[in-house]
Each structure stands twice: as C-alpha cells, then as structure tokens.
Amino acid sequence: MKRPSKSARKPRPSPERRRPRDEKPRTKMTRTATQARAEAVIEEKKRRSQEQEVRAEDESGSLGTFEDYGADEDETSVQPEPGSDDDVAVDVAGEPEFEQARPTGRLPIVAIVGRPNVGKSSLFNKLAGSRIAIEDPRPGTTRDRVSAIVGIREPDQRVVELYDTAGIGIVDEKQVEDHVHEQIEYGIARADVVLFVVDAKDGPTTLDKITAEKLRRTGHKVLLVANKADAPHQDAMATAFYELGLGEPIAISAKEGRNIKQLKRALTAELPPRSDAERLEAPELLLAIVGRRNAGKSSLVNSLANDKRVIVSEMAGTTRDSVDVRFEYEGKSFVAIDTAGIRRKQSFENSVDFFSQSRALRAVRRASVVVLLMDAREPVTRLERELIELAMRESKPIIIGINKWDLIKKPTDKFVEYIKRKLGEIDFAPVVFVSAKTGLNVFELVKIAGELHEQAGLRIGTGELNRIVNAAYEKHHPQPRKNKLGRLFYATQASIYPPTVVVFVNDPELFPEAWRRYLLRELQAHTPYGEVPIRIKLKARERIILDRG
C-alpha cells in the first residue's frame, strides 16, 4: 500500500498554551475593570472547555460524554466579543467579583413576559451574555422561572436578577398548566420592571391585548419590547403596538443584537435606586442536584430556598432548564442548581430533551459539590452509575441523597450497605437520607456539602505527602513489566479544587490502573481527603543532560 507523501499529511496543530491558575489575566488599560474581569472569565471557560475535549475519551453509553451534548448544538453563542459594549452576566460563583459586602436588601428584579414563541428566551440569553435558557420554536418550551444575576452597564453599572418566564396562554401538558401560570404570576408580582415582549412581525394579537390589560392592572413599570425587527426597515412595524396602551414600543432583534443598547438604557432608567444588595458577595459553593426524572430534585431546591421557585409535579420530565436558585443558610450564601432528570438518549422525544440533558450534564462541571438524588423507593440503575462516572471524571465531591425517606420503614444501615454495594466506586461518598417534602435533613445535606468543599480546598505539605506515597509503594508496589520495575521519585500537590497530586516516576506505563486506584485509596485513608475524589497524575521524570563543553 502506497504511503502518502509528507506534503499530503495534515500537520498536527500546535498545543495552545494553558494559563496557570495563579497567573493573572492580561488586561488593557483602556478597558474598565469589569470588562477585564469578564473577558478573563470567558477565556477561562474556553480554556477549561478545551482541556475537557483533550481529556474526554470516546466512551459508549446511554448518557454519552459532554461533547455528545455540546458539539452538535445548533444554538449560536451570544457571548460578547472582547472589547464590545455588550454586558456580561455576573457569574454566580463570584466571577467577575463586585465589591464584597453583605446585601442589606434585594437585587432589582426584571421579569421577561409575553406569549409563547416571541423570543423571550433569546432576549434573556442576550442580556445574560450566555446560553442559559433553552431556545426552541416549540411553544411551551420554558416552564420554570429561569433566572440569572446580570450586570448591565448602560449607562452606569447596575446589577439585576433577570427572570425568564414561560409563555402566557399555551402549555403543552395540562398536568403542569396551573404550575406554569403560578410561576408567571409570581415572577410578575416580584418584578420591579417587566419587559413585555411581542412579535413585531405578527402585530398585536388577542393574547397580547389580554396580557397588556393584565400588566396595566398590576401597576408595575412595563417596557414594551417589539422583538424580531431584524432590519431597520422593520422598526416601523412596532408602531402598531401603541394601541396596547403601554407607551412607546422599543423595536429590537434579540437574535441579531439590534437596539439592545437602547433597551438597556431604557431599562436602567426604570430601575429603583441602587442598594447595597448590588454589591454581591460570592456564594460559598454551587450545589448541583442531579438524578433520574421524578426523584424530587425540584422539591429539594424549593425546600432549600423556602420558596416555590421551580415547578414540582408528579409528571416525569417537568423540569427542562437548569435553574440556579440562590439561598441563605447560617448567614452564608449558596446556589442550588436544579437540573432536568437524566434519561437514556434513546428515549429523547425532541431537541428540547437533548438540550435539557446537555445543561444538566454541564451543571456537573460548574458545581462545587454534586448531589446525586435518588428515590428511596426505586432501585439503583445504570443511569445512577453513569452519573457517578461523570462526576468522577470531573473529580467533583459527591453526596448520595436518598429522598422520600419519610415513606420508607427500612433501617438506614442496611440501605447504606445496599448503596455501597451498587455504587462501589464511590463507597467513600457520604449518604444522606432526606425528605424534601417534610424538610428532613435538608440543611444537613448543605452542611455536609460545605464540609466536602472544605476538604477539596486543603493542601498537604510535600514532606507528609511523600511519606504517605512512599509508604504505600513499600506496602504494595506494581508488578514488573517487560523486566522493568516501576519506581517512584517524589510527589507534590499541584492544585486544589480538585486536589491534584503529581507523582514523578521512571515510566508511567509501569503503573497499571489497579495500582493507581490503590494509591487513591491510600491517599484518602491517610490524608484529609477521606470523602472527596483525588486527581492523581503520574509523570515521567525528565533527564537533564549537562553540556560539559
């Protein structure tokens, strides 16, 4: 067989330089501090995404890898280009950071409302600066009250909590119709400013007129937003909405980004006076709650927030978006991420299910601690094991939450034995028996999550770490391969969150996977990392040849 010529071979791309965690991002003196921090966040997210692509293996399974849920999305990113005037969402983990202060009030709330399929989620994502809400042409895609903390810099820096609500008037499943309308009413009632979105191309509809009448009765400040004016000549279509009696309509295009600045200026002019709450304090941690459908994830989030924040229904698959809910516990701020129920890819009915699961899996990457919530009445299945593998690949601390324990009369010790046997890979993870309905151990779960987060942030001295690693090697060293014995030189802790230990050896191939798991167990047994995953990297020590000339 004829080999291709060197000129026909594709050159291998040069690896991109990875910025160390302790290296400060480059900024330009001509930009504001908020812009510089926001650009650093975007670059860091891109870097992590690239690292994930390099690490991910082509594995077969019903859940797939993260790339299975990200590479094929046809949504267009709305992240601003560096140097643009678009605003960037304030990351709930505290990046970019605002002046640290304990809020004395609440953030101004801006609710986006309107009938289905007028572009509410597209506008929400545009203002938030990232793809948070699912965009789909099917009416009734959004159900929960999706929210994000958003920084708006037109003309001055303001911070608001932005709500994306479901479409008024149409719901695809009758079982959740009342719950959806309850979320809409609650979002409007709490809002300081309402963005009433209409379709400029359709003109005023009967449902638009009914919604406008309802908004006028509330007495809230309302901005009338005529979306889908994709070109300047279509702005004149917005004049037809004067008859709604809500003032001058603002013609925009969320998809094309037209007149977004004008909308932001009008919005900030209607906001209440600035309060200390806009100087956000970073949350202690992000708690991703994942599991199969109908395990009680939304009920748990509502119990933590002491609020009907997300829809709870006996119908499986109610939740679609991943919803961030901020709550307070013992004077500290936390964020719980309610996710869509995980199911096999073969059972997806449409693209909405695909994007829902995509966001649920991405929540694992964002989280500080992952809670695998299970129904105490249901057996452990392959889906739980795949979620565990997913969290372990990301080296996330894991809590096994057994929900609906108020309905079970079994002894807890026997149930723990059953869980450990079925999920043997993470037998170090704590098991918490909760009841989201009654509140049993709900905040005990948060307390344990905080302890795991602290464990993942500890550092071990190099001397102590080497004593533990050498003792483990002397106790049990790997079998020789090809007449060569694997040898350890020294170990060092490279980073935290997750704890990462780099062990320098003569040849990493001489240390099989079974021995690496053994070393992981020894480290967990003799270090403060007894309940969290440890990332172990074996690296060949490079020989340095001195030039004696």
The proportion of the chain whose per-residue pLDDT surpasses 70, expressed as a percent, equals 67
Whether the predicted pLDDT of 207 surpasses 80: yes
As to burial, measured by CB atoms within 10 angstroms (0-12 exposed, 13-18 middle, 19+ buried), residue 542 is exposed
Q: Which of 69-78, 402-411, 427-436 holds the top average pLDDT?
A: 427-436
pLDDT tens per residue, range 411-452: 888 888 898 888 877 889 999 999 988 989 999 999 999 999
Q: Is 494 helix (H, G, I), strand (E, B) or coil?
A: strand
Task: Indicate the domain borders of the chain.
Answer: 109-278, 286-451, 462-540
Could you report the per-residue pLDDT of 100-146, keeping only the tens digit for each?
Answer: 333 346 789 999 988 888 888 889 888 887 665 444 444 444 444 57
What is the mean pLDDT of the segment spanning 81-93?
37
pLDDT, residue 432, reads 94
H/E segment holding residue 399 = strand 398-403
pTM above 0.85, yes or no: no
With vertex at residue 126, the alpha carbon angle to CA 125 and CA 127, rounded to the nearest 5 degrees, is 95
Question: For residue 338, which phi and psi values (nearest 5 degrees)?
Answer: -85, 130
Cα–Cα distance for residue pair 128/124, rounded to 1 Å? 6
Predicted local confidence at residue 102, as pLDDT: 32
Kind and range of the H or E run holding 352: helix 351-366
Q: Is 343 left (phi over 0), alpha (psi -120 to 50) or beta?
A: beta
Paired with 536 in beta bridges are 501
pLDDT > 60? residue 12: no
Same-fold call for 109-278 versus 286-451: yes
User: Dihedral of the CA atoms 355, 358, 360, 364 (nearest 10)?
Assistant: -160
Other beta carbons within 10 Å of 258? 20
Per-position b or e across 74-95, b if 16+ CB within 10 A of its CB: eeeebbbeeeeebbbbbbbeee
Output 2-9 pairs: Cβ under 8 A, ≥24 positions apart.
none
Greater pLDDT, 386 or 131: 386
Best CATH choice for the domain 286-451 from the list 3.30.1300.30, 3.40.50.300, 3.40.640.10, 3.50.50.60: 3.40.50.300
Encode pLDDT of 25-66 as tens digits: 433 333 444 455 555 555 556 555 555 554 443 333 344 433
**3-state SS, one letter per residue, for 161-227:** EEEECCCCCCCCCHHHHHHHHHHHHHHHHHCCEEEEEEECCCCCCHHHHHHHHHHHHHCCEEEEEEE
Give the residue from 341, 364, 453 showing the smallest Cα distance to 48.
364
User: 69 phi and psi, to 5 degrees?
Assistant: -105, 0
Helix axes 177-190, 206-218, angle to 10 degrees: 50
- The CA distance from 290 to 383, in Å, is 11
Amino acid present at 503: V
DSSP string over 229-251: --SGGGGGGGGGGGGGSSS--EE
Structure-block tokens of residue 344: 């096999």
Q: Which has more confidence, 501 or 477?
A: 501
Contact, 442 vs 449, CB < 8 A? no
**CATH top-level class of 462-540:** alpha beta
- Tokens in use for 425? 């890979």
Residue from 272, 130, 279 nearest 191 by CA: 272
Burial of residue 548, with CB atoms counted within 10 A of its CB: 0-12 exposed, 13-18 middle, 19 or more buried: exposed
Please tell me what DSSP assigns to residue 290.
E
Judge if the upstream peptide bond of residue 411 is cis by omega within 30 degrees of 0. Answer: no
Residue 538 class from Cβ within 10 Å (0-12 exposed, 13-18 middle, 19+ buried)? buried
pLDDT at 81 over 90: no
Residue 387 to residue 396: CA distance in whole angstroms: 11
Burial of 482 (0-12, 13-18, 19+ CB in 10 A): exposed
CATH of domain 109-278: 3.40.50.300
Q: Residue 2 pLDDT more than 90?
A: no
